Amino acid sequence: MHTDPITPPPARRRNLRGPRERLAEALINLSDGKGRIDSHSEKSWASITFAGARHRIRMVFEGDDAVEAGECFIVFLPEHEFTIRGQLVADAAITQVDSSASPPKLTVTCEILLLEEG
């Protein structure tokens, strides 16, 4: 008797996009897709009434167009209205900016405090 092996259906990928990934996507969108995240660290944060995480992100903008987008990013980040499901942005600040003229490059470090909604 011959039987064919049973091939299980492909595993469904669970949506593994948490607040960290959603924040990264929002920052790339705010940079008009012209910046890239060079580093992203996260530290849990809590008080008696709130819990969340402080994110420290370094973004790099390379080339004339990207540097211009980076300059806009610096201006708009502190007042940007983020929509990250399940999270509130309590604070968003630029903490460091480094630039070079040749080749044109802008490195922007920001800190963002996310609080869990609810």
- 4-28 b/e (C-beta count within 10 Å ≥ 16 → b): eeeeeeeeeeeeeeebbebbbebbe
Q: Is residue 89 within 8 Å of 51, Cβ to Cβ? A: no
Share of the chain above pLDDT 70, in %: 86
Q: Is pTM, for the whole model, over 0.85?
A: no
Residue range 71-118, pLDDT digits in tens? 999 999 999 999 999 999 999 999 999 999 999 999 999 999 999 987
Flag whether pLDDT at 10 surpasses 90. no
